[in-house]
A and B are shown apart, each in its own frame.
Chain A
Amino acid sequence: MTALPVGRTLVRLGPARLVVRHRPLLVGGVLVVLLAAAVVLSLSLGTPYVAPVDVLRSVSGAGTRYDLVVLDLRLPRVVLAALVGAVFGIAGTLIQSVARNPLASPDVVGVTQGAGLAATVALTSGAAAPLIAPAALAGGLAATVVVLLLGLRHGLAAQRFVLAGVAVAVALRALTEVVMLSADPIDGLRAQLWLVGTLAGKGWREAAYLGMTLLVLLPVLLWAGWALNGSALDDDTARGVGLRPVARRVGLATTGVLAAAMVTAQVGAVDFVALVAPQVARRLVRAERPPLVCAALVGALLVVLADLAGRRLFAPTQLPAGVLTAALGGPYLIYLLLRGRRKVS
């Protein structure tokens, strides 16, 4: 008899022994295939239409007459979309695990509003375009620090974390409205558009930046994936088995809001992904908590599809990806809730 629960395999990598769950592996594989298909679809649809065969040849460097369209115009945006979704998926998973609440997301804990206020101030005060993202990042981080400090007084307990976040978020949103209303109408509109979140006019620079973010976060994420296992236990039980729940929560929350702030600063509030991706992933793998990698893949898939739909549905009018992620993700979450009520409750 093996004591390792069914559906898991022990993987030995040199001295390391890692427990791998079968279902997330399977789900992850399917998601990678779907994501690849979505990327190809996104590269091929549009004006001009490029046949998937030509897309594949262009991407593999064979050189076609569509290179300009596929590689220079569409690819940067698709890669950016995938990265945005992945980072939001990870951020959402971490934030939800600390908040012990499937409805928590970066905009519940104040990150989005902090970034939004700073970006609005920057946009309406005539700051140069390259300054918007750094300003938004600073705003998101500042809001994060306030939320964490407020939450820390009680060991960053779930309720405390959410309450502090909501309070900060509401205050910042009110301030943003004030700034927007008192600004020049054109600037106000630009700020409004930024707040909704869009990938239009963005590309390699933002993608490279997010890729770096993921790379830097990678070792932390390896730890986080393991640490999330213990997050289902209450504090006393966790201490009993030698965990340090407060330190772990602070680590997970900090990583989550940092990631959220980084990505929000680049593309604005596409953050509905952060709410929905972990929950979709959790239900797909039928686990008690969202698996990080699958949540990242679901997020990537969702944003790639949302961006594609935003570009094509009402072409030539482009809808911001932030609107579409909500429109796509919301109904799917409702469907999962209705269908999975008995299995995963």
Chain B
Amino acid sequence: MLSTRDLSVGYDDRTVLDGLDLDLPADAFTVIVGPNACGKSTLLRTMARLLTPRRGTVLLDGTAIRDLPTRAVARRLGVLPQSPLVPEGVTVADLVGRGRQPYQRWWRQWSPSDEVAVAEAMELADVQELAERPVDTLSGGQRQRVWIAMTLAQDTEALLLDEPTTFLDLAHQVEVLDLLHRLRTERGRTVVAVLHDLNQAARYADHLVAMRAGAVVAAGPPRQILTVDLVREVFGLDCVVVPCPVTGAPLVVPTLRTSSVTKGSSCAAEFSPSSPSPPSVPA
């Protein structure tokens, strides 16, 4: 449902994305991965019309997103930026209610459908019991669920999230990713997220997009595209890829680079890839 055509984006004199063509499948959980500064956040933010491209277009179901009124886009596309500013003294229920903004006007501030959407979003993100708490008194994990609830209240077909698990501990990361997975499987939403953790990406994504230096290196189901060669090409990292003991999804395990750490262990030797010595990849 989201596509880019010849998309070029940059900041000042630096070009981040140059002529990118990409199609993201509808009703799938797409995860974008890549090294720091590869342009994955820029891509997500441009697709969410938070950045204006220098050239090219973002298409939402075939219509150029910049030709649509921002309110209309907000009814079809929810966005969760990387670290939203937490407003002071605003309660959870109030903040989630602001997700209804695209459906409201100053003379029509609240409707029964707002009520239903907010209640449902709070239940889905499991924040009902926090409803009257000020958001700035919550823990990081709770806050993230509240922000997700706000974007859910927007009631959009698609949801874009920029590193939604950053700054969360492992248990809360899994909690957030499980929630996104449920949105996709139980509610049929299209979910697109930028993630740092390759293994989490492989575990949750239906569709994986691997980027490097502003270009898409590979895109497809993780089980098909996540290989030793891809990790080396994208991250410049040597690794082995084994099936995850829990899900069977590819699990990326970096090999050790210095012998001093291995000391007596043969782990690196046993699992090192059988391919001939890798070509040097620029960091």
Contacts and interface: CB of A to CB of B under 8 A. Distances in A.
Interface of A: 1-6, 10, 15-19, 222-223, 225-227, 229-230, 232-234, 236-237, 239-244, 286-288, 344-345
Nearest to B90: A288
A237 B118 CA distance: 17
Contact of B88 (A232, A237, A244): A232
Contact of A236 (B84, B93, B102, B111): B84
A232 B87 contact: yes
Contact of A234 (B74, B85, B94): B85
Given A232-B90, A287-B89, A240 B151 contact: yes
Interface stretch (B75-83, B194-202, B225-233): B75-83
5 contacts: A6-B93, A15-B108, A18-B109, A237-B84, A345-B88
Interface in B88-103: 88-91, 93-94, 97-99, 101-102
A3 B115 contact: yes
A16 B106 CA distance: 9
B48 interface: yes
A21 to B, nearest CB: 10
A133 to B, nearest CB: 33
Q: Which 4 A-B pairs have the closest CB atoms?
A: A242-B74, A232-B87, A226-B106, A240-B79
Interface in B182-226: none
A345 B88 CA distance: 7
B118 A240 contact: no
Interface in B123-160: 131-132, 150-151, 154
Contact of B109 (A17, A239, A242): A17
B93 A5 contact: yes
A344 B137 CA distance: 11
A236 B81 CA distance: 6
B110 A17 contact: yes
Nearest to B154: A241
A3 B75 contact: no
A19 B119 contact: no
A19 B89 contact: no
B73 interface: yes
Nearest to B48: A240
B98 A236 contact: no
Contacts of A19: 109-110
A230 B101 CA distance: 9
A233 B49 contact: no
Nearest to B94: A5
B80 to A, nearest CB: 7
A240 B94 contact: no
Interface in B51-90: 70-75, 78-81, 84-85, 87-90
Contacts of A17: 107-111
B50 interface: yes
Contacts of B74: 240-242
A242 B87 contact: no
A229 B110 CA distance: 13
Contacts of A244: 70
A276 B103 CA distance: 35
Contact of B107 (A5, A6, A16, A286): A16
Contacts of B81: 234, 236-237, 240
Which has the most chain A C-beta neighbours within 10 Å: B72, B84, B106?
B106
B85 to A, nearest CB: 4
Contacts of B117: 3
Contacts of A229: 98
B281 interface: no
Contacts of A240: 48, 50, 74, 78-81, 151, 154
A3 B84 contact: no
Contact of B87 (A1, A226, A233, A345): A233
Given A239-B79, A241-B154, A5 B131 contact: yes
Contacts of A223: 106
B107 A15 contact: yes
Contacts of A242: 70-75, 101-102
A233 B84 contact: yes
Nearest to B105: A226
B114 interface: yes
Nearest to B82: A236
Count chain B CB atoms within 10 A of each CB in A3, A230, A287 and give the residue with the most.
A3
Given A2-B115, A17-B108, A243-B101, 11 more contacts: A3-B118, A18-B109, A226-B106, A226-B109, A233-B87, A237-B85, A239-B79, A240-B50, A242-B101, A287-B89, A288-B90
Nearest to A287: B89
Nearest to B100: A241
B166 to A, nearest CB: 15
B132 A6 contact: yes
Contacts of A15: 107-108
A288 B89 contact: yes
A288 B79 contact: no
A3 B70 contact: no
Give the residue among A16, A237, A240, A345 with the most B Cβ atoms within 10 A: A240
B159 to A, nearest CB: 10
